[in-house]
Amino acid sequence: MAPDKRVTIRDVALAAGVSPGTVSRAMNDSSLVNEDTHRRIMRVVEELDYTPNVVARRLSLGKTLAVGVIVPFFTRPSVSERLNGVVSLLATSQYDLVIHNIEAPEQRVTCLTEIPFNEQADGILSISLTPTDAEAERLAQAGLPVVLIDGDHRALKGVHHQVTVDDVAGGEATTRYLIELGHTKIGFVGDYHDNPFNFTSSRDRYVGYQRALWEADIPVRAEYLEENQHGRRPARESARNLLALTDRPTAIFAASDTQAVGVLEAAREAGLTVPDDLSVVGYDDVEIADILGLTTRRQLLFESGRRGVELLLQTLENPGTERVFDTLPTELIVRETTAPPQG
């Protein structure tokens, strides 16, 4: 009850009749200490219910034993799944995870520029964020390992590793699938390609979309591109515009599953049957895709998080490691929202 004075390493040392240094050794590299002493110390540790003060360890070691993860909108299913991968692996390590959510562009710069300098972390994990050159510069100054999960491909100075997906290729392959089905009038519903968070995935997927069209000698029509805020509702609006076109698309490629849901809703509103009147394909393969039977391109969200942590921990152990730029595969999951165009 009485929040008894915490038991420190000195208390243990006293009770075990040894010095604090020995207790410390016993708790860490037990090899260097006599078997008996070790056992005795451990018994006292048990009895006193001693647990080392992490903050003191941190100061002494010059390490924070924490990694910072910077993540925008972690409630988005795809992001939360990546985060889940991060957490799952990090939990098995000695590192704490301190999380920084970003919901506004200002927070973005704060996180990217301050956190690395506050010694709040030994390493940084950045999810779905592409640092600007200036930010990368600053990151480099901080001198701590940074790994980008779902970040940009460019070789940034401050970045140690990257785990990413080739969104251009993914967008291209997905579009090609629609083309192979026979579609030539393919709309694209995505984020604003120029946005204050510097999200790049939608833009990259659109680049892939263009490539597929070029390769197939299908003209890229400006009116078939709808940029908007991210989210289901904005995507619904965008899709409405597309469907109101006199020469409306027979298929719509949404930059994410969330956006595909909005497209599906717009189709229903417009009285169109999916996939007969309109094919819809999403991206990510989060749970809603399975629920709705949405054809989509699956990416390994959970694994991207895990892999990112793996690389970070590796670098933390052994700072000299080579930079690695991993690219995770994607896979088309065909469900019930795609079919050849009618007629």
- Tell me, residue by residue from 243 to 282, as one string, x for binding to a copy of itself by CB under 8 A and - for no binding: ------------------x---x-----------------
Whole-angstrom distance, CA of residue 266 vs CA of residue 243: 8
The single residue among 11, 37, 119, 321 that binds a copy of itself, judged by CB under 8 A, is 119
The single residue among 14, 57, 97, 328 that binds DNA, judged by CB under 7 A, is 57
Q: Which residues contact 39 (CB under 8 A, 6 or more apart)?
A: none
Element holding 126 (H helix, E strand): strand 123-127
143 binds DNA (CB under 7 A): no
The single residue among 52, 179, 216, 303 that binds a copy of itself, judged by CB under 8 A, is 52
The single residue among 42, 52, 153, 218 that binds DNA, judged by CB under 7 A, is 52
Whole-angstrom distance, CA of residue 33 vs CA of residue 26: 6
Q: Biggest alpha carbon distance in the chain?
A: 89
Q: For a copy of itself, which is the closer residue by CB, 37 or 84?
A: 84
As a whole number of Å, the CA-based R_g of the chain is: 26
- Calculate ∠ Cα 305-308-311, nearest 5°: 150
Whole-angstrom distance, CA of residue 30 vs CA of residue 41: 11
**What residues from 4 to 33 belong to the interface with DNA (CB under 7 A)?**
6, 8-10, 17-25, 27-28, 32-33
Q: Which of the listed partners (DNA, a copy of itself, none) does 214 bind, with a CB threshold of 5 to 8 Å by partner kind?
A: none
Cis status of the peptide bond prior to 105, with omega within 30 of 0: no
Q: Which of the listed partners (a copy of itself, DNA, none) does 34 bind, with a CB threshold of 5 to 8 Å by partner kind?
A: DNA
321 binds a copy of itself (CB under 8 A): no
Element holding 99 (H helix, E strand): strand 96-102
The single residue among 39, 43, 61, 334 that binds DNA, judged by CB under 7 A, is 61
56 binds a copy of itself (CB under 8 A): yes
Pairing of strands 146-149, 295-299: unpaired
Options 82-90, 148-156, 190-198, 221-229: segment touching a copy of itself (CB under 8 A): 82-90
324 binds a copy of itself (CB under 8 A): no
Report the Cα 323 to chain-centroid distance in Å.
19
The single residue among 39, 47, 56, 334 that binds DNA, judged by CB under 7 A, is 56
The single residue among 22, 24, 64, 238 that binds a copy of itself, judged by CB under 8 A, is 64
Whole-angstrom distance, CA of residue 284 vs CA of residue 237: 21
Element holding 211 (H helix, E strand): helix 201-215
Burial 269-300 (b: 16+ CB within 10 A, else e): eeebebbebbbbbbbbbbebbeebebbbbbbb
Grouping H, G, I as helix, E, B as strand and the rest as coil, residue 295 is strand
Element holding 141 (H helix, E strand): helix 133-142
Asked whether 160 and 67 are in contact (CB, 8 A), the reply is: no
* Least distance from DNA to the Cβ atom of residue 83, Å: 29
Options 52-60, 212-220, 308-316, 333-341: segment touching a copy of itself (CB under 8 A): 52-60
Query: What is the contact surface with a copy of itself in residues (CB under 8 A)?
Result: 1, 3, 6, 49, 51-56, 58-59, 64, 66, 74-75, 77, 80-81, 83-84, 87-88, 91, 96-101, 103, 107, 114, 117-120, 140-143, 232, 261, 265, 287-288, 291-292
Query: What is the contact surface with DNA in residues (CB under 7 A)?
Result: 6, 8-10, 17-25, 27-28, 32-34, 36-38, 52-53, 56-57, 59-62
